[in-house]
Amino acid sequence: MVESKQSDVQLVERLRQHVDVLAELIGPRHVGRPKALESAATYVERQFSALGDEVERQTYEVEGTTVANLVVERSGERSPDSIIVLGAHYDSVPATPGADDNASAVAVLIEVARLLRGRHGQRTIRFVGFACEEPPHFYTDTMGSQVYARRCRTRSERIVGMLCLEMVGFFTDEPGSQATPLGIPRWLRWLFPHRGHFLAAVGNLRSLSLAWRFHWGFKRGSPLPLYSVCLPEVIHEIRLSDNSSFWDQGYPALMLTDTSFLRNPHYHQRSDRADTLDYDRMAQVTCGVAGGLIRLAGIADHGR
C-alpha cells in the first residue's frame, strides 16, 4: 500500500499534521464551542476537496446551532448501489483536545481516502465525518451518525458494510496494559490480548461476515496486529461509537479501535494530546484500513 520508506515518512507526517490542527490548534470541538466545531468541519472538508472530492454537507440543528455530517462518495463501477461506509466523528468532549478521541480517527479517514484516490472499485465507497458523537448527543436523535444512518434506511440504501474509526492512535507494548470489557465472562478473558499493541475490529454477531472479509484485507495491507471479534450487543462496550447507529438500522458495521478507555489513560482527559499518540502505528492502521476497503469494495489489487 505504501510503496517506499519515503512515502511512509510522508504518511506519518500528514497524520501528525491533521492531529495537530484538530487537537492542538482548534482544540475542544463541540456544540458549546460552535466556531471550533465549524473550524474542524471546514478543515476536514478542505482536505477532501484537495483530493479532488466533492463534499456534501448533511446539515441539521442542535441547540440552535447548525452542524453537519460531511459526506464524500466515490461511485462503484459495477455495483454502485452497494455501499461501503468509512466514518469517524470529528467532535470531542468539552475540556479535552481530543487527540486520540477522535482526531486520530479523522486523520486516518483522510489519509485512507488519499491512498485510494483514483482507484475505483466495484462497490461505492463513502467517507463520512460525523458531527456530535460525544455526550450529551450519544444515543440521541442529535447524534450525527444516527441522523445519517436513519437517512440511509429511509432511502432504502444498501449499506453492505460500515467501518467506524474510533480512537486509533494509542498503542503500548507494556504487559498488562490492555483491559478486557467487564461484560466478558472471567472464564473467557484468557482469549483476549493483555498488551495494548493491536487494533481491534469489533462487530456484533450479524457483522461476522464483514469482520472476516475486512480482517483479511487489513492483513494484506499492514503488519499491525489486528484482533477481530464479534460479540453479542449486551456487552455494552461494543456499542460505544457510531457503529451502533448502523446496527440500529440493521446494517452490518465494525468499530475499528485502539479500545479507548480499556487502554488509553488519557480518555476524555485534558491530557489527551497530540504527543501521546504513536504515529508510526497510526500509519500502519491507515494502510491496513485501506487494504480492508480494497477487499470490501472490490478495488483492483495491482498485484499485491
> Does residue 274 fall inside a structural domain?
yes
pLDDT at position 183: 87
> Does residue 130 fall inside a structural domain?
yes
Q: What is the pTM of this model?
A: 0.96
45-72 residue pLDDT tens: 999 999 999 999 999 999 999 999 999 9
Question: What CATH number did the domain enclosing 212 receive?
Answer: 3.40.630.10
How many residues make up the chain in this entry?
Answer: 304
Q: Computed from CA positions of residues 227, 181, 97, 255, in that sequence, does the dihedral angle turn out positive or negative?
A: positive
Pairing of strands 123-130, 253-257: unpaired
DSSP label at 301? -
DSSP label at 195? B
What's the pLDDT band for 111 if we cut at 50, 70, 90? very high
Instruction: Answer whether 263's CB lies under 8 Å from 177's CB.
Output: yes
pLDDT at position 3: 46
**Considering the chain, what percentage of its residues have pLDDT values greater than 70?**
97
CA distance 245 to 146: 5
The angle subtended at Cα 277 by Cα 127 and Cα 102, nearest 5°, is 35
> Does residue 179 fall inside a structural domain?
no
What's the pLDDT band for 219 if we cut at 50, 70, 90? very high
DSSP label at 175? B
pLDDT at position 220: 96
Tally the domains of the chain: 1
3-state secondary structure 282-298: HHHHHHHHHHHHHHHHC
CA distance 189 to 201: 17
> What kind and span of H or E run contains 124?
strand 123-130
pLDDT at position 6: 56
State which amino acid sits at residue 133: E
> Does residue 178 fall inside a structural domain?
no
> Does residue 184 fall inside a structural domain?
no
Which domain, by its residues, includes 120?
Answer: 5-171+192-297
Residue 85 clears pLDDT 80, i.e. is over it: yes
What's the pLDDT band for 79 if we cut at 50, 70, 90? very high
pLDDT at position 5: 56
> Does residue 265 fall inside a structural domain?
yes
Instruction: Answer whether 259's CB lies under 8 Å from 196's CB.
Output: yes
CB neighbour class for 35 (10 Å; exposed up to 12, middle 13-18, buried from 19)? exposed
> Does residue 268 fall inside a structural domain?
yes
Instruction: Answer whether 199's CB lies under 8 Å from 168's CB.
Output: yes
CA distance 177 to 291: 28
Q: Please, what is the average pLDDT of the chain?
A: 95
pLDDT at position 188: 84
What CA–CA distances, in Å, run from 288 to 74, 87, 153, 198, 256?
19, 15, 29, 12, 11
116-166 residue pLDDT tens: 999 989 999 999 999 999 999 999 999 999 999 999 999 999 999 999 999
3-state secondary structure of 90: coil
What CA–CA distances, in Å, run from 82 to 117, 123, 147, 255?
19, 5, 20, 20
4-52 residue pLDDT tens: 455 689 999 999 999 999 999 999 999 999 999 999 999 999 999 999 9
Instruction: Answer whether 253's CB lies under 8 Å from 205's CB.
Output: no
CA distance 85 to 64: 29
Residue 2 clears pLDDT 70, i.e. is over it: no
> Does residue 177 fall inside a structural domain?
no
